[in-house]
Amino acid sequence: MRGGIRWWWRETPRLIRLVVCTAVPLGLSMAALGIIGDANGWWDNRAFLTNLLSSLTGLLIGVPFALAVLSHLADAQAEAGARRECRRRVTAAVDRFLNTFMEGFVSDDTIEVEEALPDLRMAHEQLRRFLQQDVPDDPAVRTADARILREHLDALDAMRRRTYACDAARKHQWVTQLIQCWARLDNDIRPQAEDLGLRWLSPRVHAELANAMKRLSELDSRAFDLADRLAGRLFEAAEPPGVERWRAATSTITSRTHQEIKLAVALRRVVSHIDAVEAIGR
């Protein structure tokens, strides 16, 4: 209690403190003088002087009260209004981030998404290991490898369709919107929330989410579409794929595979902290 009063007094402007320290003792002294005067009949037949002194006494006590107490009450009311407005903005920004994030997935269950992303990452890592093999000189072996590669790609495509709600062409747009929502949340909302003492992310969670957004911003969106086109050309030809064409296609597919792994890792990190994001400002 004493600490609160000391803080309240320290927060009062210096000029107001000077007025309080000067006017209140004078007002109390005049009030005491008025009570003593009433007891001794000093104010009999002096109506104007009585009104003047009583008004001055009320002024010396009332003005400091209005300056010191009512001003703090007004500040407290303004701060409460600012907190409500900030909480409204925080809630809107958090909801937009969460809605944008979940719009990219088929399932609206974060647990299912969290379980699907590691499987997707492991499948892409298996494909990357397959693509790291040397290019076979024998056309028959390349044909067999092309058949295996197509099975890998078809299986991955099915997994991606079960996980992501957007295709390769729209994936970059979705990731860009997610990054923009995070920038709004981190750069604009966070300072306001922290200034007003609203709940924010822990330093560890904030660092991990910021790192995930950084990874998403580094994705090369061109690799997604280009890999699909080159893979289609590789499988459309009736004859066994040539060495150069095989290398060009597998190199691009490897690039996409690397991007898909980075995407799955970053999104997995985000979904693991969804509960913490939902608690912001609450």
pLDDT tens for each residue of 44-67:
777 777 777 777 777 777 777 777
Instruction: Please check whether residue 230 is in contact with residue 252, taking contact to mean a CB–CB distance below 8 angstroms.
Output: yes
Low-confidence ranges of the chain (pLDDT < 50): 1, 238
User: What phi and psi values does residue 164 have, to the nearest 5 degrees?
Assistant: -95, 140
**Could you report the per-residue pLDDT of 232-262, keeping only the tens digit for each?**
555 555 455 677 777 777 777 888 888 889 9
Predicted local confidence at residue 222, as pLDDT: 64
Based on the domain organization, do 144 and 265 belong to the same domain?
Answer: yes
Question: Which DSSP state fits 44?
Answer: T
| CA atoms within 13 A of residue 280's CA, in its CB half-sphere | 31
Distance CA 56, CA 33 (A): 12
Based on the domain organization, do 29 and 150 belong to the same domain?
Answer: no
Based on the domain organization, do 111 and 78 belong to the same domain?
Answer: no
Domain coverage including residue 55: 2-84
pTM metric for this prediction: 0.69
Within-domain flag for 133: yes
Total domains present in the chain: 2
Based on the domain organization, do 65 and 132 belong to the same domain?
Answer: no
Distance CA 145, CA 121 (A): 22
Based on the domain organization, do 79 and 108 belong to the same domain?
Answer: no
Q: Would the CA dihedral through 205, 94, 179, 125 be positive or negative?
A: positive
